[in-house]
Structure 1
Amino acid sequence: MRMIKQSGSHELEIRKSRFVCTLARVGTEAEAVGFLAAHRRAHRDATHNCTAYVVGEHGEITKSNDDGEPAGTAGIPMLEVLVRRELTGVAAVVTRYFGGVKLGAGGLVRAYGQAVAETVEAVGVVELRPVVTVTVRVDHGLAGRFLGDLHGRGAQPGEVRYGAGVEADVAVPVPELAGFEAWVAEVTAGRAEVERGAPGYVEVPVP
């Protein structure tokens, strides 16, 4: 599953018309609809505010709107860019300020698609990889070696807590859970307590 790295905007000018694309990270369809409605209200002076969004764990919910442009020349090409990049959890609006030169159907398709594509490149894309947060508890005598070896594996604990013992939270990719737990048992001679937490995701930048 992929998402945009962050919300953001990007502008381009094509034959005197300004196309301003704004992308937002959204968690639900209701959030996408709310964001797009607010954007339209804020930019009601624009000639068009064309929209598209993809939401759902597998990008199964999609919708687009041409907002007065000829049917199929704005919302659909915008949506196609998001789908082609395998994105979800994203809402897109392209605000057009007409410059007096008509682009024709083909020109509009290219312009709206280009606006979204360039904005996706500008804000970046991340891949969401499933992980489980594993809490490892060791005594103070083992903590130094354990944390050092953990860094040696290229893992960064999300939080380390010091008390009667030392607790470290580590986000472990789901396919590596069994191997990680076996490694912990080996480096601590079986003296660590390991507890699996709730599943979640980490964001990995996509080149």
Structure 2
Amino acid sequence: MSFTLREPAHAELVIKKSRFIACVQPVDGRAEAQAIVDGLRRQHPGAAHVCWALLAGGQSAAVDDGEPGGTAGRPMLDVLRHQQLEGALATVVRYFGGIKLGAGGLVRAYTDSVAQALLGAEKVPRQRLQLLRASVPYALEGLLRREIVAAGAQLQEVRHAAQVTFTLSLPEAQAAAFQAQLTELAHGRLAWLDAR
């Protein structure tokens, strides 16, 4: 099972006068991660490095941002993988303190920074969602809305035309039972549509 983060979590470490400001946070993909990193660069113009690691939607990244190759981004990515995170971005802003840490020291510093931020993070299980579309007569709209709420499904869209068309999402594991229950409750007056 994989997890994501409920909200951003931060930590700050000072190692041999270098300041490491870490953040772990939920993201949907590379574009969102890049926007966050660009924002950090603007927010910390005096920082020596803004290193980051990403695991989101099958995309991964490990960026050293000028640190010796493999001493920042890769260790940060390893922490995310070890924690079974998905849809997560780890960033570490480093202010250089004048004392070189060496390759091993850098790996430990970046690993520890992300690990410390994760100690304050709330991990939540990720569930694969299934998108469903159903069409019902207006008389069944209230029934369908109540069942969607009762199942904890997320209503994505409602369209009113000759019939009412609902688009919703719910955990994949619940989809088949939910569809069967609604089909029975609607007494054959509900049509399941292709969920494109």
TM-score, length basis structure 1: 0.67
- Asked if the contact 1:36/1:91 (under 8 Å) is kept, the reply is no
How far the C-alpha of 1:141 sits from its partner, in A, is 2.6
Report the AA paired with residue 87 of structure 1.
L
d(CA) in 1 for partners of 2:99 and 2:12?
15
Quick one: percent identity of the two aligned structures?
35
The offset of 1:81, in angstroms, is 0.8
Q: 2 CA distance for matches of 1:38 and 1:146?
A: 43
Equivalent residue number for residue 29 of structure 2: 27
2:112 corresponds, among 97, 111, 114, to 114
Q: 1:31 to 1:147 in 2, by over 3 A?
A: closer
Structure 1 pair 96–129 and aligned structure 2 pair: CA distance change class (3 A): same
1:50 is matched with 51
Structure 1 position 32, deviation (Å): 5.4
The 2-side partners of 1:74 and 1:14 are apart by: 16
Q: How far, CA to CA, are the matches of 2:175 and 2:28 in structure 1?
A: 29
Q: 1:148 to 1:39 in 2, by over 3 A?
A: closer
Distance 1:141 1:68 in 2: 64
In the alignment, which residue of structure 1 is the partner of 2:84? 86
The aligned residue for residue 181 of structure 1 is 179
Q: Secondary structure at the match of 1:19?
A: strand
Contact 1:11 1:20 in 2 (8 A): yes
Letter in 2 for 1:65: D
Q: How far apart are 1:172 and its partner, in Å?
A: 3.4
2:29 maps to a residue whose letter is: G
Cα distance change of structure 1 residues 170 and 72 upon mapping to structure 2, 3 Å threshold: closer
Letter in 1 for 2:140: L
Which segments of 5 or more consecutive residues in structure 2 lack a partner in the other structure?
A: none
What amino acid does structure 2 have at the position aligned with 1:12?
E
Q: TM-score, normalised by structure 2?
A: 0.69
Task: State the superposition RMSD in angstroms.
Answer: 3.7
Shift of 1:106: 5.6
Q: Structure 2 CA distance, aligned partners of 1:38 and 1:145? A: 46
Q: CA deviation at 1:100?
A: 5.2
Alignment correspondent of 2:130: 132
Hey, what's the Cα distance between the residues in 2 that align with 1:156 and 1:48? 40
Change (3 A) 1:156 1:22: closer
Query: 2: distance between equivalents of 1:41 and 1:148?
Result: 47
**Number of residue pairs matched?**
193
8 Å CA contact retained: 1:23, 1:90: yes
In structure 2, the residue matched to 1:169 is 167
